[in-house]
Amino acid sequence: MADPLVLGIETSCDETGVALVRGDELLVDAVASSMEEHARYGGIIPEVASRAHLEAMIPTIQKALGEADVDLSEVDAIAVTAGPGLVGPLTIGASAAKALSIGLNKPLYGVNHVIGHACVDQLVDGPLPERAMALVVSGGHSSLLLVQDIATDVVELGSTLDDAAGEAFDKVGRLLGLPYPGGPHIDRLAREGDPTAIRFPRGLTAAKDQAKHAYDFSFSGLKTAVARWVEARTDAGEEIPVNDVAASFAEAVADVLTAKTIAACHRNGVDTLVIGGGFSANSQLREMAAKRCAEAGIDLRIPPIRYCTDNGAMIAALGSAVVRAGVAPSALDIPVDSSMPLTTVTV
Ligand code: KG4
Ligand code: ZN
């Protein structure tokens, strides 16, 4: 029997994503973004994002079905992001998914957005091995997950205690006077700079942090260190070597992310690492992860960037994995959960 056809809906932040997946095959991935509306505010405005999702939802569903030449009646199951994310945006997606589930009389699966970022790799690189490590890094999350079974058994080893990696880049971008979001701009400048020029702090890497925070991240101290460094030079009337600041800052972030992740792989006997989330576009992280994973004998899997930013494919992929694993569907009255635990694959 053919694998079920799963429609996935993602609305946790500013991207309205709708995709169709059968097994591990992606049929279509349609996306509408409200990022342009947020850029002028220098951050995501939840109310603006919610309205944009509401307007984009039906057209994006129709676009996905049209491009895949699939009739809604052929869909076997609906998967939707239940959390974590922004409550208003999540509610728009969940409401659409519930309406489809009732209208089509097909099961609903409320799934975890962060785990979706790891699962989408299956559409590109094939099924994950029995145990894998996932590093999910974006503007909203920086988490290390031990994936024992993507549909049923995910352990959260650690997360950021303050800023996410992308968020730290955006904040440092702001203090360097770069446009929002600053992440890609810092990446570009960093490629022209010397990563060893300034030794910025590596959060939670001291011996005293090993017991409690071996797999947690903290970037707010680093961001403050960059601010202080820039302030001191400015007060002294010196020019800021922006490329070197960017390169040294990016080096510190990539160093902590890769060192902790590879240590987690070793300690848990895992030799496959998936990196997902929008921040995985970062060149410094990619280069360091490739080099250190090769040295450590770890198989590194990073999907193309269009599957790393928020999208419907990741939710349809996780929905497909969950349906095939025989997990029970969600109740039609499931709430959305802005801080959904990363150990909860489905609700
Ligand atoms: O997953 P994503 O598209 O959405 C959010 O989680 O918001 O991630 C976007 C984040 C932003 O913080 C952005 O500045 C950062 O990832 N980002 C980058 C790069 N590309 C995107 N940061 C550093 N280097 C990049 N090349
Ligand atoms: Zn995300």
The rounded distance, in Å, linking the Cα atoms of 21 and 4 is 8
Per the listing, tokens 């942090």 go with 209
Q: Which residue has the higher pLDDT, 45 or 233?
A: 233
pLDDT at 34 (0 to 100) = 75
Query: Which of 81, 138, 275, 284 most suits a substitution to test ligand 1, by most atoms within 8 Å of the C-beta?
Result: 138
| Ligand 1 contacts CB of residue 276 (under 6 A) | no
Residue 61 pLDDT grade (very low, low, confident, very high; cuts 50, 70, 90): very high
Q: Over 90: is that where the pLDDT of 320 sits? A: yes
Taking residues 217-243, report their average pLDDT. Answer: 97
Residue 108, pLDDT score: 98
pLDDT single digits (tens) 138-179: 999 999 999 999 999 999 999 999 999 999 999 999 999 999
Ligand 1 site-directed mutation target among 16, 41, 169, 287, most atoms within 8 Å of CB: 169
Query: Which pLDDT belongs to residue 242?
Result: 97
Read off the pTM: 0.96
Percent helix, strand, coil in the chain (nearest 5)?
Answer: 45, 20, 35
Band of residue 3 on the pLDDT scale cut at 50, 70, 90: very high
List pLDDT tens digits, range 276-307: 999 999 999 999 999 999 999 999 999 999 99
**CA distances (Å), origin 66, targets 60, 194, 303:** 10, 49, 25
Ligand 1 touching residue 281 (CB < 6 A): yes
Ligand nearest to the CA of 14: 1
Which pLDDT band, with edges at 50, 70 and 90, does 37 fall under? confident
Cα 331 to chain center, whole Å? 26
DSSP 217: B
pLDDT at 272: 98
Percent residues over pLDDT 70 in the chain: 100
Identify the band that residue 42 occupies on the pLDDT scale cut at 50, 70 and 90.
confident
Q: How far apart are CA 119 and CA 213, in angstroms?
A: 25
Report the pLDDT value the prediction gives residue 208, as an integer from 0 to 100: 94
Tens-place pLDDT, residues 98-112 = 999 999 999 999 999
